[in-house]
């Protein structure tokens, strides 16, 4: 017995330490259960195709004899796929080796014997949780029709259609809605059953003794009550007495009320679920992008930045805890999520390690902006973070938190106000450039590797030839995440390198032309 225990424990540690085993199991777990896994959608499409094919074969076989090869395809291939899927789901549901190691290490810690009976009991209990689940029962029933010895089981092929609930997200969303409103729906069902029961008995009492040719027993009366309360009204059973017709009138009115109640429940639940479904879609779209910018806060400043990004063709997503502002961003055609940007899981869902290049904290609350900035930097310090701030004390704390750029609108506004008061003509020129009234703009041009400006001096490039004015250069940062040192009006012999950013002013078309060359 001791040797058997040692063998099981050794196998458990082997599987726990085997990277290949963990990688294989992780792959199957993702493709079966992880909606964020990029290849799961192909598996879902394959399974839906298999299910529809199986049901189609059943329908064809009702009146036409299907070819032998098609029957074998259904019997062997489709059944094999369903059996393998069932076993894989059972396998990935829990980790047997972890439970065995946990019990073994616990026995060592408390200096007691390892009970394999207890371990196997725990394993069986874990697997039984999956086997007894509704989804697993549907999977098992979907396999049963394959046993041709019991021909009546072929009708259970229709249960394979229920397997599509696993793979069609819209159907899963509908089930979530039903589950979310379980109490209301159960109340409605109980109320409906009560009215059907009472009205069915009343009709049977009034019509059963009056030789109604369509009511032979109490079941017929209940059938009539169900058809009538649902407002379907097939007309195969109709009351012939005055009392019976009064009951019909009452149950029709009741049915209209119950249907309205049911409709309002479903509509309200779908409205609550809509934002969640939209967020899931936005997250999936974001996962496919690179160098994404996140705008936290869709106030006045956030809207202006979003408009600029849209014009420049920059990929961005808006995050705002205010549902009204998030909906406003969505209505404008932007990718938007109503969630809390101070929470780590928000950026983890968006792909803080891979997809996000920069985050702009533009809410009207300085403290909230500070929390967002700290949150982002704690998850990935290489992400560029710019934060709006009005308080000088909080601004100093943001610098300690390694925020790359501080945006102080009040300070900028006061500077612009002083320029307007002292030099109104200069202000008007600056304003016309910012608003591009004279078809001119101030823009940033990045020097890429091996382009015509890389390792060239200002004189060699001759910006006058491109009809633009070079205001200054942000030298490439020595540390990742920083914008580097700004050099105003550099000398003609200044050498540009890949990664430097040129701040230029010129006509829109001229800047667009040099950007294409860069």
Residue 170's pLDDT is 55
Of the pLDDT bands very low, low, confident and very high (cuts 50, 70, 90), residue 337 is: confident
Q: What is the pLDDT of residue 174?
A: 60
Q: Is the dihedral of CA 293, 296, 297, 301 positive or negative?
A: negative
Q: Tell me, what's the pLDDT at 108?
A: 79
| pLDDT tier at 173, thresholds 50, 70, 90 | low
Give the gyration radius of the chain's Cα atoms: 34
Q: What percent of the chain has pLDDT over 90?
A: 1
Q: For residue 150, what pLDDT band results from cuts at 50, 70 and 90?
A: very low
378, 383, 384, 385: CA torsion to nearest 10 = -30
Phi, psi (degrees; rounded to nearest 5) at 236? -75, -20
Instruction: Give the pLDDT band (50/70/90) at residue 62.
Output: low
User: Confidence band (pLDDT; 50, 70, 90) for 149?
Assistant: very low
Single out the residue of 27, 154, 139, 150 nearest to residue 85, CA to CA. 139
The CATH architecture to which 289-407 belongs is 3-Layer(aba) Sandwich (3.40)
Identify the pLDDT of residue 272. Answer: 64
For 296: left if phi > 0, alpha if psi spans -120 to 50, otherwise beta; the answer is beta
Residue closest to 94 by CA, chosen among 120, 118, 130: 130
Q: What is the pLDDT of residue 169?
A: 58
431 backbone dihedrals φ, ψ, rounded to 5°: -65, -40
> Right CATH number for 182-273 from 1.10.287.70, 2.30.30.60, 3.30.70.20, 3.40.50.720?
1.10.287.70
Contact between 409 and 378 (Cβ < 8 Å):
no
Q: What is the pLDDT of residue 501?
A: 85
Q: Is the pLDDT of residue 171 over 60?
A: no
Our CA dihedral for 201, 203, 205, 208, rounded to 10 degrees, sits at -120
Q: How confident is the model at residue 338 (pLDDT cuts 50, 70, 90)?
A: confident
State residue 217 phi and psi, 5-degree precision. -155, 180
Mean pLDDT of 113-134: 84
Q: Please give the DSSP secondary-structure letter assigned to residue 77.
A: I
What is the residue extent of each domain of the chain? 2-167, 182-273, 289-407, 439-517
* For residue 417, pLDDT beyond 70: no
The CA distance from 191 to 252, in Å, is: 14
- pLDDT-derived band at 455 (thresholds 50, 70, 90) equals confident
List, for residues 176-212, the tens digit of each pLDDT value.
666 777 788 888 888 888 888 988 888 888 877 666 7
Enumerate helices (H) and strands (E) in the chain, giving the number of each. 22, 10
State the pLDDT at residue 233: 74
> Is it the case that residue 481 has pLDDT exceeding 50?
no
- 16-27 pLDDT per residue, tens: 888 898 899 989
CA distance readout (Å), 308 to 304, 305, 314: 6, 5, 9
For residue 148, pLDDT beyond 70 = no
pLDDT of residue 358: 86
What's the CATH fold of domain 439-517?
Answer: Alpha-Beta Plaits (3.30.70)
- Predicted confidence at residue 78, as pLDDT, reads 84
pLDDT in tens, 361-394: 888 888 888 888 888 888 888 888 888 888 778 8
Please state, rounded to an integer, the average pLDDT across all residues of the chain: 78
> Which band of pLDDT confidence, cut at 50, 70 and 90, is reported for residue 162?
low
Supply 340's token pair.
Answer: 């809390």
Q: How far apart are CA 309 and CA 195, in angstroms?
A: 60
Please name which of 225, 221, 242, 241 lies closest in space to residue 233, comparing C-alpha atoms: 225
């Amino acid at each position: 017995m001791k040797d058997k225990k040692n063998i099981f424990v050794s196998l458990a540690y082997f599987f726990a330490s085997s990277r290949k085993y963990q990688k294989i199991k992780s792959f199957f777990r993702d493709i079966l259960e992880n909606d964020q896994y990029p290849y799961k959608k192909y598996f879902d499409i394959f399974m839906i195709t298999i299910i529809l094919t199986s049901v189609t074969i059943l329908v064809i076989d009702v009146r036409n004899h299907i070819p032998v090869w098609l029957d074998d395809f259904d019997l062997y291939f489709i059944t094999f796929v369903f059996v393998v899927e069932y076993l894989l789901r059972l396998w990935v549901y829990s980790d047997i080796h972890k439970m065995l190691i946990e019990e073994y290490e616990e026995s060592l810690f408390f200096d007691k014997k390892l009970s394999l009976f207890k371990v196997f009991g725990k394993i069986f209990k874990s697997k039984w949780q999956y086997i007894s689940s509704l989804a697993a029962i549907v999977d098992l029933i979907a396999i049963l029709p394959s046993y041709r010895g019991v021909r009546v089981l072929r009708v259970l092929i229709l249960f394979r259609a229920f397997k599509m609930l696993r793979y069609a997200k819209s159907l899963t969303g509908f089930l979530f809605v039903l589950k979310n409103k379980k109490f209301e729906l159960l109340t409605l069902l109980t109320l409906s059953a009560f009215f059907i029961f009472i009205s069915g008995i009343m009709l049977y009492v009034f019509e059963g003794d009056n030789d109604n040719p369509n009511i032979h027993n109490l079941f017929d009366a209940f059938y009539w009550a169900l058809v009538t309360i649902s407002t379907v009204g097939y007309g195969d059973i109709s009351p012939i007495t005055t009392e019976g017709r009064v009951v019909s009138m009452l149950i029709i009115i009741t049915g209209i009320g119950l249907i309205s109640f049911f409709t309002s429940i479903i509509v309200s639940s779908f409205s609550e679920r809509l934002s969640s479904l939209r967020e899931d879609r936005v997250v999936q779209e974001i996962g496919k992008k690179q160098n994404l910018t996140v705008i936290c806060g869709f106030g006045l400043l956030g809207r202006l930045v979003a408009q600029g990004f849209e014009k420049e063709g920059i990929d961005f997503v808006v995050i705002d805890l205010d549902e009204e502002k998030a909906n406003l961003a969505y209505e404008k055609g932007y990718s938007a999520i109503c969630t809390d940007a101070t929470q780590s899981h928000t950026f983890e869902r968006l792909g803080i390690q891979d997809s996000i290049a920069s985050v702009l904290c533009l809410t009207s609350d300085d403290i909230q902006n500070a929390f967002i900035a700290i949150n982002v930097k704690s998850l990935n310090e290489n992400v560029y973070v710019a934060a709006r701030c009005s308080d000088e004390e909080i601004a100093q704390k943001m610098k300690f938190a390694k925020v790359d750029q501080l945006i102080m609108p009040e300070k900028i506004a006061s500077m612009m106000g002083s320029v307007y008061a002292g030099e109104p003509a200069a202000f008007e020129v600056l304003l016309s450039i910012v608003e591009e009234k004279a078809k001119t703009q101030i823009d940033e041009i990045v020097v890429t590797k091996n382009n015509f400006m890389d390792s060239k001096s200002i004189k060699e490039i001759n910006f006058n030839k491109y009809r633009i004015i070079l205001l200054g250069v942000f030298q490439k940062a020595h540390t990742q995440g920083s914008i580097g040192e700004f050099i105003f009006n550099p000398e003609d012999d200044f050498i540009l390198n890949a990664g430097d950013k040129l701040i230029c002013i010129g006509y829109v078309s001229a800047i667009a032309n040099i950007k294409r060359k860069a």
